[in-house]
Amino acid sequence: MRVVLAMMMGILVWSSPVAAQERVDIELVIAVDVSGSMSRDEHDTQRRGFLAAFADKQLIAAITSGIRGRIAVTYIEWAGGGLQHILVPWRIISDRSSALAFRDILATKPRSPIRGTSISSALDFSEKLFDRNGIESFRRVIDVSGDGPNRTGPELRPIRERVLRKGIIINGLPIMLAPAMQRGADGYGLDQYFKDCVIGGPSSFVFPVQKKTELAEAIRRKLILEISGRPARVMHANSVIKSAANNVDCELARYDFEDW
């Protein structure tokens, strides 16, 4: 997508090559992992977290407090290479009523019956959703959750770098409920993998979760941070890891996530 940059109140404005029909503060792709390693209980907890978030007063206040007071959101589920489903196409949310309408549509959608873990394919698919969507915004963000590293599909790093060159921010929600995903004796865990290999862009962050009971609150707080555009100051459901430049090899073969 050809990107046009303009300055408005000191903020970069992104626009598509088609005439923008909608102007919002943020275009947000919610990209949710539904791979086979996610149990039905974990998936249901994650879905309930998003449903609750879009009825939350603080989240709605974050939406309406922006310069334009409205955002554009689409919700997808992803798994292996080439396996992504759009559950809710782009919708404009500008108040409680439209937030609840988004929630109600999502609530009717069954879990996508797809397997595998390809973060690279999820980012590639999400990037294309911004192309010629008729929306102009100050920020474009991909919010990607996942409970494992990239296993299938294309190499992750080239796709991540291409997405970042387009000015799209990537934030991460690593779901670290399995012991193999948590930090071992070497200090490396899925949260660090997301930091090294997945997230990027201005003020990008990782919001890790190690307990199922933390997941819904982590989703709510992460969405509020993304929508408000505030730098994350808050690991596990209370902290974040900031993005940093690095030379880590991001392919799964280089990582020893024991018994994953």
Across all residues in the chain, what is the average pLDDT?
Answer: 82
pLDDT at residue number 111? 80
Print the domain residue range for 162: 22-253
Per-residue pLDDT tens digits for 67-119: 999 999 999 999 888 889 999 999 999 999 999 999 999 999 988 777 788 99
pTM of the model: 0.84
Higher pLDDT, 37 or 157: 157
Q: What is the mean pLDDT of residues 150-175?
A: 94
DSSP per residue, 7-20: EETTEEEEE-SSPP
Whether the Cβ atoms of residue 134 and residue 22 lie closer than 8 Å to each other: yes
pLDDT at residue number 142? 98
Q: Does residue 174 belong to any structural domain of this protein?
A: yes
**Residue 239 pLDDT > 90:** no
Place 14 in a pLDDT band, splitting at 50, 70 and 90: very low
Higher pLDDT, 184 or 115: 115
E strand or H helix at 220, and its extent? Answer: helix 212-228
Which CATH number goes with the domain that contains 247? Answer: 3.40.50.410
Nearest Cα to 220, choosing from 112, 128, 143, 136? Answer: 143
What's the CA gap between 191 and 181, in Å, rounded? 8
- How many domains does the chain fold into? 1
Q: Does residue 5 belong to any structural domain of this protein?
A: no
Q: Does residue 17 belong to any structural domain of this protein?
A: no
Q: Does residue 16 belong to any structural domain of this protein?
A: no
Which of the 8 DSSP states describes residue 254?
Answer: G
Whether the Cβ atoms of residue 119 and residue 215 lie closer than 8 Å to each other: no
Q: Which residue has the tokens 């999502």?
A: 106
Per-residue pLDDT tens digits for 20-55: 589 999 999 999 998 877 778 888 889 999 999 999
Which of the 8 DSSP states describes residue 31?
Answer: E
According to DSSP, the β-strands at 135-136 and 22-23 are parallel
Q: Does residue 1 belong to any structural domain of this protein?
A: no
Higher pLDDT, 40 or 2: 40
Residue 187 C-alpha from the chain's centroid = 24
Highest mean pLDDT among 72-76, 209-213, 255-259: 72-76
The token pair that represents 85 in the structure block = 């489903």
Q: Does residue 10 belong to any structural domain of this protein?
A: no
Q: Does residue 151 belong to any structural domain of this protein?
A: yes
Q: Does residue 186 belong to any structural domain of this protein?
A: yes
Nearest Cα to 150, choosing from 160, 164, 138? Answer: 160
